[in-house]
Structure 1
Amino acid sequence: MHIALLEPLGISAERVQELARPLMEAGHSFTSFDTKTTDPAELTRRAAGAEVVMIANNPLPAEVIRALPDLKMIAVAFTGIDHVALDVCRERGITVCNCAGYSDVAVAELTVGLAIDVLRQVAAGDAAVRGCGTNAGLTGREIAGKTVGIVGTGHIGTRAGRLFSAFGARVLGYARHENPEATAAGIEHVDLETLLHESDIVSLHLPLNDATRKSFDADKIAQMKPDAVFINCARGAIVGNDALAQALTEGRIAGAGIDVFDAEPPIDADYALLKAPNTIFTPHVAFLTEEAMARRAVIEFGNVSAWAAGTPENVCPL
């Protein structure tokens, strides 16, 4: 069996070879590439003859999958799989496995970090010092005593809720199905309308799919408190970002911390959110820590080994 890793995983080449060694010792061939590409022709060339393709968050479009007649399994070093042409995978019976859980800690920590940045005006404070300014106009707000709404109480949302709770916040949660882990963590499940009306901080932790795409729209944003802060470390396409920018500009919500956008960075200079006041941006780095990169590589190679052994793990429903 031939296995092709089409893009870097954020770990050293030596570590990649170390993780691939058991597969090669089992008789499989392995090829890896240390650069990213979105060119379908180049992706097809890299994956030629592979029964297993390994990727991270680089798109794997339909035309590439269709050009790989031997492909049977796609290992995704990411939690979301919306960047893979899943309809073709369904047609072909291709197994798709992800690395759910690898970045739970990283994303939850940045969620809280962005909330602190917005509430305490960290970026503005940094600019003031560098501009020989003072603390004038930089009175902040605390997390303690606030109500935090977690939209999506899966593993990441629950972990973020625990962190906010440790700061002394009351934590509300919304999910289609209540998560016992979240309830055990002290998160109070309520309906979405209640969460939006009562929360001082609203943090989004939903997957991107047909049901959630653009679901956090102008109507949802309008239900938030005027002094509320919105945090998105989930997926940009879940949010009506033009409506969010308008709400921020008009002062209908107080601020936002955004790690994800409608497209991957670099973001066009005309993107409406970039002009909105009281915002903190990071270029899709919530998952990107040394520890998370190490974890996901182990999980991804483990997924390939398990599939090759006939005992697949982390299989995604298509």
Structure 2
Amino acid sequence: MKVMAFNARPDERAFFDHFSQSLNMNLTLQKDTLTLDNVALTRGYDGISCTCDLPAPILEKLAENGVRYVALRTIGYDNVDLEAAKRLGIRVSHAGYSPYAVSNYTVMLMLMCIRKAGYIMFRSHTADYSLGASGAARGMEMQNLTVGVIGTGRIGKAVIRNLSGFGCRIIAHDPYPSEEMKQMGVEYVSLESLYAQSDVITLHTFLNDSTYHMINTEAIQQMKPGVVIINCARGALIDTRALIDGIESGRVGSVGVDCFEGEDDVIRVDHNYNSRVTNHDYIILKSFQNTIVTPHVAFFTDQAVFDMVQCSLESLHQFELGEKVPLEVHAA
């Protein structure tokens, strides 16, 4: 099977080499993202592996070029027009990877927020080692808090397992409650109840029409004053303007996010002196002393990168053999 991998990073190369050899796959690596400008490169290839956006115009060109399968190296697949893929006869799969990459990072952000670590580290750079005016550096302890987990899929469950050792109360919201999590003492509640009860809210759900901007002005007004909001899922789950308003009003006490709306114009780029970051909401969000904003790196561990390459190439191999592809996704 001839496969072209786009967005192939140097840190993935060893894993691509390993799995292409073990699966006897004819693999070509491209460091660039797939666009209409370079889609002609796929002519004669059976499948592609990528992390990029795949709207209908690109999928149409892929179909014209003979591409029959797209294997993503990401868990999320909201970047693919699945209706167009179905119409064009292109099958699509996503990747699964170690849930502890994101779940560990999530708990790190929680701890940094409740202990005001960003604020403390910033002050230490100016040799200010005081406790801050009126004890501004004073934090909270996890065992005294209620943590609300929105979405208890693989990553949400891993977050709960990580939190279980801290002694905090854990509540959750998911349309499909997990019996395993219930047995661990997790209480499933309505979204409104989760907002009202949680000291910390962490997002681990897919982005779709029903979850777009689920954290908005109305939702924030239902939350406890001083709530901590963590997002290591998808940026557009949060209305950034509403979040900024919540921080400025004091309703939101702290924020730790690894993703944000419009991030594609900011992340994966080394912005030099002459470069311009023009995402104004991102700039404002980063400017607060009670926010931590990182560039979508929660997934980035050795284990997770290995898993993503493996899932992508194995899905292509299963397709070639006519086998069932467990990670295949379909239009709703």
Please indicate the TM-score interval, normalised by the length of the shorter structure. over 0.9
Report matched runs for 1:275-314 at 5 Å: 275-311=287-323, 312-314=325-327
Q: Which amino acid aligns with 1:294?
A: F
Deviation track 1:133-159 (CA, whole Å, cap 9, x = no partner) reads 113221111111210000111111111
In 2, Cα distance between equivalents of 1:14 and 1:199 = 43
Match status 1:47 vs 2:46: no
Give the Cα–Cα distance (whole angstroms) in 2 for the partners of residues 64 and 150 of structure 1. Answer: 36
Q: Which amino acid in the other structure matches residue 203 of structure 2?
A: L
The alignment status of 1:96 with 2:63, answered yes or no, reads: no
Select 1:66's aligned residue among 41, 60, 67: 60
Is residue 249–residue 277 contact of structure 1 (8 Å, CA) maintained in 2?
A: no
Q: CA deviation at 1:298?
A: 1.5
CA distance in 2, matches of 1:203, 1:60: 28
Q: 2:278 aligns with which of 228, 251, 268?
A: 268
Q: Are 2:29 and 1:32 equivalent residues in the alignment?
A: yes
* Structure 1 stretches of at least 4 aligned residues deviating more than 6 Å after TM superposition: none
Structure 1 residues 34-56: Cα deviation after superposition (integer angstroms, max 9, x where no partner): x23354212x0332222211112
Percent identity, please. 29
Quote how far apart the aligned CAs of 1:214 are. 1.6
Whether the 8 Å contact between 1:150 and 1:173 is mirrored in structure 2 is: yes
Could you tell me which residue of structure 1 aligns to residue 122 of structure 2?
A: 127
The residue aligned with 1:184 is 183
Cα pair 1:246 1:276 within 8 Å, conserved: no
**1:40 match: secondary structure:** coil
User: Shift of the alpha carbon at 1:14?
Assistant: 3.7
2:330 paired with 1:317: yes
Aligned CA-pair RMSD: 1.8
Report the AA paired with residue 11 of structure 1: D
1:9 deviates by 5.0
- 1:14-47 C-alpha deviation (Å, 9 max, x unpaired): 43122112443xxx532112x23354212x0332
Matches of 2:105 and 2:234 in 1, distance apart? Answer: 14
Alignment pair present for 1:142 and 2:141? yes
Matches within 5 A, 1:164-313: 164-265=163-264, 266=266, 268-271=278-281, 272-311=284-323, 312-313=325-326
Partner of 1:117: 112
Structure 2 portions without partners, runs of 5+: 267-276
Residue type at the aligned position of 1:76: L
Length-normalised TM-score, structure 2: 0.88
- Could you say which residue in structure 1 is the equivalent of 2:272? none
List per-residue Cα deviations over 1:93-139 (Å, max 9, x = no partner). 32111112x04111111111111111111122212222111132211
Kept in 2: contact 1:53–1:74 (CA 8 A): yes
What is the distance in 1 between the residues matched to 2:220 and 2:119? Answer: 25
Q: Aligned to 1:81, which of 77, 82, 100?
A: 77
Contact 1:6 / 1:46 at 8 angstroms: preserved in 2? no
Contact 2:5 2:48 (C-alpha < 8 Å) held by counterparts:
yes
Q: Secondary structure at the match of 2:70?
A: strand
Alignment-mate amino acid for residue 194 of structure 1: S
Report the AA paired with residue 179 of structure 1.
S
Task: Tell me if the contact between 1:53 and 1:73 (Cα under 8 Å) persists in the aligned partners.
Answer: yes
What TM-score comes out, normalization by structure 1 length?
A: 0.92
Gaps of 5+ in 1: none
Q: Distance in 2 between matches of 1:76 and 1:210?
A: 21
CA–CA distance in 1 between the matches of 2:217 and 2:115?
26
State the SS of the aligned residue for 1:67.
helix
| Shift of residue 197, structure 1, vs aligned partner | 0.7
